[in-house]
Structure 1
């Protein structure tokens, strides 16, 4: 009786497995179009994809500016650390010279009848012993006292440099971790945007990447007006921006062949001999604020409430900017994005 039940249980189990397999095969057939009409994933509405992609680009650009700022701070910390290390090496050389001089004094004293306790302490390999023995140095002669004083000063300065270097090492480590966080955010957003775009037809993707001001791009009248209406340095920056039309957008890039938005602005003014900060939120404070009604070619124009995008005004309500990974450096109307403010740097 028990064996009979076991046989029935195995039979039931086998039937269940076969049924599950049949359902799986039927599902696979439906998904691949075999055995009946398949249900393909519906084609996304281009307008919806456009909105989602632009939002992802905005978020990626904001993260890019954070990345640029963290990178600038990391590079600054690296320079400070290198300077501190160089200075520490120079101080170490001076310390060794001072210790050698102190050793000469000690040797002379030893020949004259024994080594002063203060000198024995200061010739120790323990720097703390040097500093703790400062009071004993007062009992040394004037020549010995001066030598001990030099060593004491050099030790204090060297230790201060080492402490400052440790601070910079910690700051650099923190900045590098911050860089990685922002880099991950940027790449995640851009990957999501590419996946959305891959669901569109080539024609739809081309339309989505459109928006360049073709009329002004091909016209020389606005460009000539921009170059004559501005000061020489602003005109040089505008000229540089025009020369870079068609260059690809690459996040974190500052030229000469690819740019992000703030990288293009920085490179354009660098060509005119003007040093600007790396990020949009620092660039907006790099000059005098001007209202939109008083814009002149060469002014920096900023967009969105978080000041996450920037372009160079070229006149007639237009700017040159590096939009996003879907479009190259181009001329575009200011009304393409929500205007946030403007700065005149020269």
Structure 2
């Protein structure tokens, strides 16, 4: 998808932030996503365009508010508007306590149901659901059960094997097989402009879901993502590796309008109408209608412009150097 914000502004801002190892905050109040998937829009109103999404537990800086619509900034610096019903308000002190609290991250590809009681399994017992990479306060009761607290204070129980402790999730070695498995699990998922969760994705949203599951946060949009990582020229098809991001435009010198994830043997996976696979050959109807503009390698580039290992993100963890 094409971003609303200036690419130059975002890349320069993130360069400064990554150079210091910190995302600066200005003391603004916070909000935290309290529903499975919350919409970020380009204006105040449900009829305005959805430009992105944020999942349960995502901390957001509150820049301004008219009571119903909040002007927010996301963890990667993306700004937009969100309805107040999607979030729980948090003070600096509450966010500081959250960063120190025991937290769990959903690693389950199917949505995880949170139930009101330890033995609840009926539809009427559901408190909420969690999509992949949702973050909640909580702890393991035993090998099969975990207790969780949602950002708005609702409590419940979910199966233990659906979670990793937040620190372990945020600092685990990158597993490309798992990242690609996540992308493949989404095959057939419908395309939705601005979407970036396992419920639906746009092209750059697919990248975000696959990489964030590995504890790596990238910039949001295709035109931003081409500016990050290690550049691979269009002529170097033999140098492509699994997980590289492939970029496309509609004309040879046009702006970047599409991103895909390279798989292997000339195949790639992407969201275009739905999540699907295509081949980098002239007879492939999808590949031939686009202009391939080169690739970026994300793995191994954590800590460079626009690529953040989550254990190093101070909105999520207290950073100790």
TM-score by length of 1: 0.35
More strand by share: 2
Q: If each structure's helix is expressed as a fraction of its own residues, which one has the higher value?
A: 1
What TM-score comes out, normalization by structure 2 length? Answer: 0.38
